[in-house]
A = this chain, B = another copy of it.
Amino acid sequence: MRASEKAYTTLRNDIIHWRLAPGAVLAEVELSERLGVSRTPIREALAKLSAEGLAEPQSGRGMVVSEISLDHLEELFELRSALECRAAELAARRGDPAVFHALHRELSNAGELITDDDPTRHDYYRLAGDLDVAVDAAVGNHYLSQALKSLRVHLVRVRRLSKDNPARLRDAAREHAAIALAIANGNPAVASAATTVHLDNSLRHLLGSRATP
């Protein structure tokens, strides 16, 4: 693996998983020593992170991890809604019903996955991710997929801002199942509407239950 890729991946994960908090300074020499590569690949990594919106140039000098807070949530979800509603719509027109019927079945049983055994909700988030992947594939639009991909990075980051209670996750799974069903049935309007409903519920939940700092 190239050094610049390694630096990029490491920093990206550190930012997404809050090991590098918003506002943290990204000093080139310090990073190059910590990651064991020279400054050149570090700079390359920082440029990519900046383009992705995970880092931003400090006033005049240096880079810092970009801010993310509940204040950004509404804005983030407006973009998310625009993209995901359209994606669901297009998936309903173009997707293979069998694929989404299968996802609907899985998601309908997803409540069982949400137990106290797995506090990271890994299985649940993977299933939700599967739906995203299936929608992307069904839509078959490179530009839309890219826009969604760059958006999801920020969504992962935001997830840490709230405590996820099991009840909400079970509701979310049901909402996902409804979206999958609408797509499987080839109904664009319902798919879009179900997505709107789901995102509104998610947003209100996130804004309502703030994580204890």
Contacts and interface: CB of A to CB of B under 8 A. Distances in A.
A90 B78 contact: yes
A78 B141 contact: yes
B51 A52 contact: yes
A75 B141 contact: yes
Contacts of A75: 141-144
A205 interface: no
B82 A86 contact: yes
Contact of A78 (B44, B53, B143): B143
Contacts of A35: none
Contacts of A143: 72, 75-76, 78-79, 151, 154
Interface in A67-107: 72, 75-76, 78-79, 81-83, 85-87, 90
A193 interface: no
A75 to B, nearest CB: 5
Interface in A132-175: 141-144, 146-147, 151, 154
A40 interface: yes
A121 interface: no
Contacts of A40: 40
A43 interface: yes
A47 interface: yes
A15 to B, nearest CB: 16
Given A79-B143, A82-B86, 10 more contacts: A43-B44, A53-B146, A75-B143, A79-B141, A79-B144, A79-B147, A82-B85, A82-B87, A83-B147, A143-B151
